[in-house]
Amino acid sequence: MRMAKEITIALAGNPNSGKTTVFNNLTGARQHVGNWPGVTVEKKEGTCRYQGYTIKVVDLPGVYSLTAYSIDEIIARNFIVEEKPDAVVDIVDASNVERNLYLAIQLLEMGTPLIIALNMMDQAESRGHQIDVSQLSYLLGVPVVPMEANRSRGTQALLQEIVKMADSAVQPGRFRLDYGRELEEEIAKLQELISEDRELSRRYPPRWLAIKLLEGDEEVVKTLRVKQG
C-alpha cells in the first residue's frame, strides 16, 4: 500500500518577482491565511497534491536579503533555519537575475535544499536577455526551472523538481562562496568553535552562523547572548 507522503516547501523571493502568482498556481483555492507566530505579518499557506505527495506550501515574506534589519527578513530566515523545509523555492525575476540572485546566494549559504524558479522568462527574452539555464544550474549546483507564472507555464516542471528533491534526499551544501583569504581565516576560526558546540551545530549550519557573526548580525548575537544565561 502506498502511503501519502507529506512534504513542506517554502516559497522565497524578492518583492515583485511573481511569488504570489506562483503560490496561487501551486495551491489554487486551497489556501489559508494566518499570522506568523508572535507577530502580525501575514502568513499564507496552501496545499497541493502531486504524484502521491501532499505538498504544504508556505509563502515567505518577499525580501531582498536575509539580514536582521527587518522583521520580514527575520521571519523568512527563521522559518528556513527552524522548520527546515524539504525544499525552498526561490522565485527569481529572470529579467532582473543579477539583483535577485543575491537572495539565492544567501539561501544557498544556509545549506537549504534550493530550487530556483526563473520566473518571467518572457520579459527577459523581450528585453533581449539570454540566460543559459543549464549553465546557471551547473554553476550553482541547484535545479533551475524556467517559468512564466502569469501564463501558468512551468508549474509542472517545478513540481517535478520539488518531488525529485524530496525523493532523493540529496545532501545540499555543495555551494561555497570564497570570501578571500582574510575573511576565510576568520570564518574558519569561528566555524571551528561553533562546530565544537553540539547544540549550536545541530541548530545552525556552522559556516552560515560564522558568516552571520562576521556580518555583525544582531539576531544571531542576541540568540547567543540569551541562551548562555
* Binding footprint of another protein on the chain (CB under 8 A): 15-16, 20-21, 24, 39-42, 69-72, 95, 97-98, 101-102, 105-106, 123, 127-132, 135-136, 139-140, 150, 177-180, 182-183, 186, 189-190, 193-194, 196-197, 200, 211, 213-216, 221, 224-225, 227-228
Cell numbers 529579467: residue: 95
Comparison of 8 and 106: residue with beta carbon closer to another protein: 106
Residue 54 · residue 47 · CB < 8 Å: yes
Cβ neighbours of residue 1 closer than 8 Å, sequence gap 6 or more? none
Nearest distance in Å: CB 4, another protein: 29
Least distance (Å) between residue 30 CB and another protein: 14
Using only C-alpha atoms, the chain has a radius of gyration, in whole angstroms, of: 18
Task: Kindly tell me which of 4 and 180 has the beta carbon lying closer to another protein.
Answer: 180
Q: Taking the complex as a whole, how short is the minimal distance between the CB of residue 140 and another protein, in angstroms?
A: 7
| 58 closest CA partner among 75, 71, 70 | 75
With CA atoms as reference, report the closest residue to 88 among 77, 102, 99, 73.
77
In the bound complex, what is the minimum distance in angstroms from residue 169's beta carbon to another protein?
Answer: 27
Nearest residue (CB) to another protein, 170 versus 188? 188
Q: How far is the CB of 59 from another protein (least distance, A)?
A: 14
> Which CB, 44 or 56, lies closer to another protein?
44
Q: What is the DSSP string of 165-184?
A: HHHH------------HHHH
Nearer to another protein, 15 or 52 (CB): 15
Residue position matching grid coordinates 520539488: 162
Parallel/antiparallel/unpaired status of strands 31-35 and 42-50: antiparallel
Cα separation of 148 and 41, whole Å?
28
Nearer to another protein, 101 or 166 (CB): 101
CB of 48 to another protein, least distance (A): 17
